[in-house]
Amino acid sequence: MTAAGSPPPGWPGIFRDLEACRDFATLQRLCRASARLEKTSGLPSPFVPARIALVGGATLDLVAGGLRLALLARGIRPEIHVGGYDQFVREMTDAQGALAAFRPNVVVVVNTPFNIGSWPAIDAPREEVEALVRSECESMLRPCRAIHETTGCEVVLNTLHTIPQTSIGNLGAKLPGDRRNFVRRLNLALGDAAPPFVHLNDVAAMAEERGLAAFFDLRYWYHAKQPFAFDAVPDYVRNTAAIAGALLGRTRKCVVVDLDDTLWGGILGDEGVAGVDVGAGSPRGEAFSAFQHYLKRLRERGILLAVASKNDDDLARRAFTDRPEMVLRLDDFVAFEARWTPKSDSIRAIAAQVGIGLDSLVFVDDNPAERALVRKELPEVAVPELGDEPADFPAILDAGRYFETGSLTSEDRRRTETYKSRQEASDARAAATDMPSYLTSLEMNAVVRPFEEVSLPRIAQLTNKTNQFNLTTRRVTPSEVDAMAKDPAWITRSLRLADRMGDHGLVAVFFARREGRALVVLGWLMSCRVIARGAEYALFEDVLAAARGMGVDEIVGIYRPTDRNAMAKDLYRDLGFTLESETPEETRWRLAVAGARAPQHYIRVDTTSRPTTEDRK
């Protein structure tokens, strides 16, 4: 922990202070400190470059600086375009304007309740209010669709906080025409009507959490059209950066939890399995149970859970099997490291076992010394200031906005199971005597299809989350995926894989564009949970057939090295391509289509079946 007031030690210190920042003056100090640091020692790395536009119905200048810093903290290097005061409708609908010319990846709209065009009369009948809700909702979504159609960008749009006044008192809760009642209805309608490329920035929820009086101050609105109270700006920029981060693939996947005084009260080694405090028997036990319920809900939406604890392994496992009050069970965890070595070692082991990067992890521990150690040894790991009040743990983890996502797919809900079956598969590999018999024993079935509508969210998600087996690390949005699917110059493929241990879902993505007589592979990636199964060969077999059908003479492959994707560097050599050029940025490979064959694989491939409807959910 840094002592209050001491200068932050470089980027990690600035980012940690930003996470804790609750007031505007501190945010500004951090912005200045980061500007100085950027001048002297450059930007933190690694990062994803992105063009972010900030437009809206309020003054944006005081938000822009903080937003830039919050994006940097998410590993995004933004180029920021700031629109004019209350110009967003014009800017977003002008296909020839400066905003469209900026070609934003993400447009952040700071719309406020003052952008509501007409309010209902207090005694307006329900039907009239509902019609007004629809038209106000449409007038907020229309500019979003316009800029999306022009540039293919994703749009972040605010839900609206209420304005602190009512003319009719508590009766308003029953009157659809009451202004608070109307704003609530409008927010619900936005949630229902927002298309996939519009992501709601839940300002209404932020105002509720902080208290409306603290979140919004009419004086600042009258003075300078400030959309939020100054001290609420840090909340707003962190939340916005988390949403943009998820759209750009900067989100975390796994929570690593400590056990003693984190999942239950007391020290297991001292109190014994029967003695630790969890469950409805005590207030503290209830609070720990509630935290376990929260973690379980994270797991159910696709976040992986793992344990890093200083305990005897056998004893730690018995706490889960022998105490019925335990909400989490051993099979909720994808990795369980209970041992007496430094936690940084356990966390490294967990990342290796699960096959994800350290920057995908959040470490949750009540002990400040352990947190400090992990921050120092593994700066990529997010470490929230947990404190010592278990009732606050869910809110603290929530406030870090580590697990934002633009959509929820069926793969998310099955994630723990698929990681577990992968571990079983690696156990089976250890048992099998040779690779072909092992691969055959997996009884793998693949479905290879061009990009299809129902799979678009998952395809985009995979391009944004996959770092290791990713040839070009090109991130694409659902809209770009859709555009490729519809353009006959592209060959697109997705691959779903199932084996005797379970269904892995959609795990590989390929897209290539015809350029003259060649097919140029611009994106190829595979979830690391199916590495070394030969799925890339099965996919390539189908691509070769498609290339022949298209009538091209050769296929050009590109590999762009990053600090994460070394495992994919020899793919084209394995597929029989010849190295054509090599620079630090990329290697280029070429393969004549005539006579080319995909390497041997052991997967039964189906290229005709329809995808399951499950992806739609």
Q: Chain-centre distance of CA 156, in angstroms?
A: 14
Judge whether 240 and 65 are in contact, CB under 8 Å: no
- The whole-angstrom separation of Cα 228 and Cα 62 is 10
Judge whether 231 and 99 are in contact, CB under 8 Å: no
Q: What is the DSSP letter of 158?
A: E
CB of 24 to another protein, least distance (A): 7
Does residue 85 belong to the site contacting another protein (CB under 8 A)?
no
Instruction: Considering the complex, state which of residue 136 and residue 217 has its C-beta at the smaller distance from another protein.
Output: 217
CB of 226 to another protein, least distance (A): 7
Place of tokens 């495992």: 567
Considering only residues 15, 19, 59, 447, which one is a binding residue for another protein as defined by CB under 8 A?
Answer: 59
Judge whether 51 and 151 are in contact, CB under 8 Å: no
CB of 102 to another protein, least distance (A): 23
The partner residues of 491 in beta bridges, in order of sequence, read 512
- The whole-angstrom separation of Cα 338 and Cα 109 is 46
Instruction: Considering the complex, state which of residue 231 and residue 366 has its C-beta at the smaller distance from another protein.
Output: 231
CB of 219 to another protein, least distance (A): 5
Does residue 119 belong to the site contacting another protein (CB under 8 A)?
no
Read off φ and ψ for residue 187, nearest 5 degrees: -60, -45
- Alpha-carbon dihedral sign for residues 64, 66, 70, 73: positive
Q: Which stretch binds another protein (CB under 8 A): 57-65, 423-431, 438-446, 457-465?
A: 57-65
Does residue 224 belong to the site contacting another protein (CB under 8 A)?
yes
Considering only residues 230, 315, 513, 567, which one is a binding residue for another protein as defined by CB under 8 A?
Answer: 230
Per DSSP bridges, beta strands 502-515 and 490-499 are: antiparallel
Q: Which stretch binds another protein (CB under 8 A): 20-28, 93-101, 157-165, 453-461?
A: 20-28
Judge whether 206 and 215 are in contact, CB under 8 Å: yes
CB of 583 to another protein, least distance (A): 42
Place of tokens 């934003």: 104
Q: Is 481 exposed, middle or buried (0-12, 13-18, 19+ CB in 10 A)?
A: buried
Does residue 487 belong to the site contacting another protein (CB under 8 A)?
no
Q: Which stretch binds another protein (CB under 8 A): 13-21, 23-31, 166-174, 471-479?
A: 23-31
Instruction: Considering the complex, state which of residue 40 and residue 222 has its C-beta at the smaller distance from another protein.
Output: 222
Binding letters toward another protein, positions 236-265, x by CB under 8 A:
------------------------------
Residues 266-295 close enough to bind another protein by CB under 8 A: none
Instruction: Considering the complex, state which of residue 21 and residue 598 has its C-beta at the smaller distance from another protein.
Output: 21
Helix (H) or strand (E) holding 351: helix 343-354
Instruction: Considering the complex, state which of residue 59 and residue 150 has its C-beta at the smaller distance from another protein.
Output: 59
Q: Is 399 exposed, middle or buried (0-12, 13-18, 19+ CB in 10 A)?
A: middle
Helix (H) or strand (E) holding 307: strand 304-309
Instruction: Considering the complex, state which of residue 110 and residue 186 has its C-beta at the smaller distance from another protein.
Output: 110
Cα torsion at 402, 406, 410, 411 (round to 10°)?
Answer: -50
Instruction: Considering the complex, state which of residue 28 and residue 445 has its C-beta at the smaller distance from another protein.
Output: 28
- The whole-angstrom separation of Cα 533 and Cα 499 is 11
- The whole-angstrom separation of Cα 133 and Cα 190 is 9
CB of 87 to another protein, least distance (A): 17
Does residue 222 belong to the site contacting another protein (CB under 8 A)?
yes
Instruction: Considering the complex, state which of residue 29 and residue 429 has its C-beta at the smaller distance from another protein.
Output: 29
- The whole-angstrom separation of Cα 18 and Cα 71 is 11
Which amino acid appears at position 437 of this protein?
S
- The whole-angstrom separation of Cα 475 and Cα 276 is 46
Instruction: Considering the complex, state which of residue 58 and residue 522 has its C-beta at the smaller distance from another protein.
Output: 58
Judge whether 107 and 53 are in contact, CB under 8 Å: yes
Q: Which stretch binds another protein (CB under 8 A): 21-29, 37-45, 469-477, 601-609?
A: 21-29
As a residue count, the chain comes to 617
Q: How many CA atoms lie within 13 A of 119 on its CB side?
A: 17
Residues 152-171 close enough to bind another protein by CB under 8 A: none
CB of 54 to another protein, least distance (A): 15
Nearest to 172 by CA among 235, 241, 122, 229: 122
Does residue 548 belong to the site contacting another protein (CB under 8 A)?
no
Region of 261 please: left (phi>0), alpha (psi -120 to 50) or beta. Answer: left
Residues 412-451 close enough to bind another protein by CB under 8 A: none
CB of 223 to another protein, least distance (A): 5
CB of 200 to another protein, least distance (A): 28
Q: Which stretch binds another protein (CB under 8 A): 56-64, 114-122, 237-245, 457-465?
A: 56-64
> How many residues of this chain bind another protein (CB under 8 A)?
16
Place of tokens 């105002």: 207
Does residue 61 belong to the site contacting another protein (CB under 8 A)?
yes
Does residue 47 belong to the site contacting another protein (CB under 8 A)?
no
Considering only residues 21, 27, 58, 62, which one is a binding residue for another protein as defined by CB under 8 A?
Answer: 62
Does residue 219 belong to the site contacting another protein (CB under 8 A)?
yes
Q: Name the H helices within 218-342.
A: 218-224, 233-247, 268-271, 283-300, 313-322
Does residue 25 belong to the site contacting another protein (CB under 8 A)?
yes
Instruction: Considering the complex, state which of residue 54 and residue 539 has its C-beta at the smaller distance from another protein.
Output: 54
- The whole-angstrom separation of Cα 150 and Cα 107 is 12
CB of 552 to another protein, least distance (A): 57
Does residue 223 belong to the site contacting another protein (CB under 8 A)?
yes
Does residue 220 belong to the site contacting another protein (CB under 8 A)?
yes
Does residue 24 belong to the site contacting another protein (CB under 8 A)?
yes
CB of 373 to another protein, least distance (A): 35
Instruction: Considering the complex, state which of residue 224 and residue 391 has its C-beta at the smaller distance from another protein.
Output: 224
Instruction: Considering the complex, state which of residue 224 and residue 435 has its C-beta at the smaller distance from another protein.
Output: 224
Q: Which stretch binds another protein (CB under 8 A): 24-32, 145-153, 335-343, 400-408?
A: 24-32
The partner residues of 495 in beta bridges, in order of sequence, read 448, 508
The partner residues of 557 in beta bridges, in order of sequence, read 521, 589
Region of 480 please: left (phi>0), alpha (psi -120 to 50) or beta. Answer: alpha
Considering only residues 22, 32, 103, 301, which one is a binding residue for another protein as defined by CB under 8 A?
Answer: 32
Nearest to 350 by CA among 299, 309, 293: 309
Does residue 395 belong to the site contacting another protein (CB under 8 A)?
no
- Where does this chain bind another protein (CB under 8 A)? 24-25, 28-29, 32, 59, 61-62, 218-220, 222-224, 226, 230
